[in-house]
Amino acid sequence: MNTSENPTLESSRSTEEPFDVVIVGAGVAGLTLASRLREDAKAHGRPVPRVVVLDKGRSVGGRMGTRRLEWPEGGEPARFDHGPPGFSVITAAFRKLVERAEAAGAVLPHPKGQRLHWRGREGVRSFAAFLAEGVEVRSSTIVTAVRPDLADPSLWSLATTPAAPGLKAPDISSAPLDPTAPVTTLRARAVVLTCPVPQALAILEAGGVALASDLRADLAVVSYERSWVALATFNEQDGQRLADLGPEGLVVVPEELPHKLIDHRARGVSPRPAYSIQAGANWSMTHWDDPADQVAPTLFQAARPWLGGSEEEVKPVHLEAHRWKFARVTVGFPRTERYATLNDAPPLLMAGDAFRGGAQAGPDGRSRDPETIYGVEAAWLSGQAAAAALEGRV
């Protein structure tokens, strides 16, 4: 690894003492890593490291996002999972954690026979909130660059800026940075990037951090699907006119528009009629720059054959659309490690659901859905592996 000078990092230096570890990204991997570092230190009688998780979103969860929409007449809000609506469990270790989350009231199992086996009690973000207990998280914080600290080469410097107010989680990745926003530099003895790999590479490039050519090439292989998602709510009378989407409250359509429909009330997430309508990756890419107020009605009209009800009979109380730039991993990191070591000392790692031990398909050789088979559990396993790599070093 080598670096080049980048004067943009010479901004307002924080007066805080250096953190032991700064984690970029408050998704499952980042939260798991932070929690595991604390637990390991306590278990071995070591001082608990000073760890902070930075995230550009307004709350924890990353792609495990749950949107709340207040009802005009008051009362309970409508709720949507606009990322993955649930997750499966494969390994015994992850099952043990999920059972703890169930005992804490964060998640619930689906009835036997459903494809997605666990859901959050109030949306998938409930599981992320469970992982975040005891973790210091600074939300609405964008990390723009990472580089070795100029005053102390045993530290990393991270340039941060506040996220623009009012943006919702799915749209932040697509929004341009405000060049007038203040920039603050934090320092850390170790940094772990758990945000989507293209974002992590951009952060390193902005700091002038050059990677070994073979590692850079392997990281460049990682790719993601994009997705447009419409969210629709209905009054109680219209909600009763809509079609039953089956026991899962979920329909996957072998088409681009719509591709997936989710009834959040049927899944027990929303107390009010609330639906997500996801477009396929190809349609989403083609229409990526279309305005949201044009995409939302397009997705809703495409979903009518599955939702039922005529345009005159059923009209949404609220309809909006959001972009997910990194909706799900389509090609993971090709190496067998569940994290990537970018620099040994001071430690600089990359982790997340893209680091799934080189697995690109299931044991039967067939492609599998990364969100329901690999996504959540792969992120957790990656966070665990990255924590083990840092054990005793921070």
Query: How far lies 83's CA from each of 163, 222, 327, in Å?
Result: 21, 19, 7
Radius of gyration of the chain (CA): 21
Interatomic CA distance for residues 191 and 33, integer angstroms:
11
Cβ(303)–Cβ(296) under 8 Å? no
Interatomic CA distance for residues 132 and 130, integer angstroms:
5
Smallest CA-to-CA distance from 22 within 173, 205, 189, 142 is with 189
What does CATH list as the number for 2-61+132-222+332-390? 3.50.50.60
- The residue behind tokens 């972009």 is 323
User: How many other C-beta atoms are found inside a 10 Å radius of the C-beta of residue 94?
Assistant: 18
Interatomic CA distance for residues 190 and 323, integer angstroms:
32
CA atoms within 13 A on the CB side of 42: 7
Please provide the size of the chain in residues. 394
Q: Which two tokens stand for residue 273?
A: 């009629």
- State phi, psi for 38 to the nearest 5 degrees: -65, -45
CATH 3.90.660.10 placement within the chain: 66-131+224-327
The pLDDT value given to residue 167: 59
The pLDDT value given to residue 84: 84
What does CATH list as the number for 66-131+224-327? 3.90.660.10
b (16+ CB within 10 A) / e for 7-34: eebebeeeeeebbbbbbbbbbbbbbbbb
Instruction: Please give the model's pTM, rounded to 2 decimal places.
Output: 0.89
pLDDT tens digits in sequence order for the chain, 394 residues long: 555 444 444 456 666 899 999 999 999 999 999 999 999 999 989 999 999 999 999 889 988 888 998 887 777 899 998 778 888 888 899 999 999 999 999 999 876 454 558 989 889 999 999 999 999 999 999 999 999 999 999 999 999 999 877 655 555 555 556 677 788 999 999 999 999 999 999 999 999 999 999 999 999 999 999 999 999 999 988 888 888 888 788 888 888 899 999 999 998 899 999 999 999 999 999 999 999 999 999 999 999 999 987 777 788 999 999 999 999 999 999 998 999 999 999 999 999 999 987 655 444 334 444 443 478 999 999 999 999 999 988 8
Largest Cα separation within the chain, whole Å, is: 67
Q: Which two tokens stand for residue 253?
A: 């359509």
CATH 3.50.50.60 placement within the chain: 2-61+132-222+332-390
